[in-house]
A = this chain, B = another copy of it.
Amino acid sequence: MTSASNDAVTAAILVIGDEILSGRTKDRNIGTIADYLTAVGIDLREVRIVPDERAMIVEAVNALRARYTYLFTTGGIGPTHDDITADCIAEAFGVPIDVDPRARAMLLERIKPEDLNAARLRMARIPEGADLIPNPISKAPGFRIGNVHVMAGVPAIMQAMLDQIGPSLRTGGRVISETIEVGNMPEGAYASELAAIAGAHAGVSIGSYPSMTESGFLNRIVVRGRDGAAITAARSEIEALIARLRA
């Protein structure tokens, strides 16, 4: 990472693709990127999923890139007619788009010159002014323009691109997350006192998360923040609360 500071660095994800909205494909990229950003101290603040439609993609790109430090998109950069992400990014930024010689050279590492037809050349169309994100798996690159990182939708390729991007990202203070296992004590038994603790510890974020198992609810309280001492203080109060309620 180029630097680490206490300034909040924020991000959004835009997933582009009809196949996610129809349920045909189950997205796995959101969770992967969320984990990655959290690990390097970047706050993921919003995710949107939109269909392969120009107006919706352009609107979402412009809304999200204006609002957050970074925007990461996945999907829509292949060779077929429904792959329109690069054109939409160019439109959102108001820049021309054409075949980029660097991207064309990358494609030729995998595709024979005689097979580099018009459709495949679509994968080398890159908005003017963008930097390329190499694709070690199938060569067709992603790109970065301004604060927007455009990545493939196939999870293995997205992951490889994210690994390439990582070192260039400005990161925030690392977020520490600590979990207090509450077991089957109902949320309603501790909610009022937990709210009071949360109110008294403004520097940390405290959440209560129920999950269901075969034997009933299982609750966890999570304390998150960037200040280790503040987390320890809140955690101690929560543990004392739970112990008192158990007694």
Q: Is the CB of B78 within 8 A of A210?
A: yes
Give the contacting residue for A81; candidates B26, B138, B191; CB below 8 A. B191
Of the candidate stretches A47-55, A90-98, A229-237, the one touching chain B is: A47-55
Closest B-chain residue to A137, C-beta based? B212
Count, chain A residues at interface, CB 8 A? 71
The verdict on A31 contacting chain B, using a C-beta distance below 8 Å, is yes
Q: Is the CB of A47 within 8 A of B46?
A: no
**Is A207 positioned at the interface, with any CB of B under 8 Å from its CB?**
yes
A81 touches B31 (CB 8 A): no
Q: Copy number of this protein in the oligomer?
A: 2
Within 8 A of B (CB), among A16-73: 18-27, 30-31, 34-38, 43-52, 56
- Report Cα–Cα, A22/B175, bound state, in Å: 10
In A200-221, the 8 Å CB interface with B consists of: 205-212, 217
Listed stretches A114-122, A143-151, A164-172; interface member: A114-122
Cβ of B48 and Cβ of A47 under 8 Å apart?
yes
Closest beta carbon of chain B to A60's beta carbon, Å: 8
* Most chain B CB within a 10 A radius of its CB, from A21, A45, A217: A21
Residue A111 lies at the interface, judged by CB distance under 8 Å to chain B? yes
* 7 examples of A-B residue contacts, CB within 8 angstroms: A20-B47, A23-B36, A82-B206, A82-B207, A82-B208, A119-B195, A120-B188
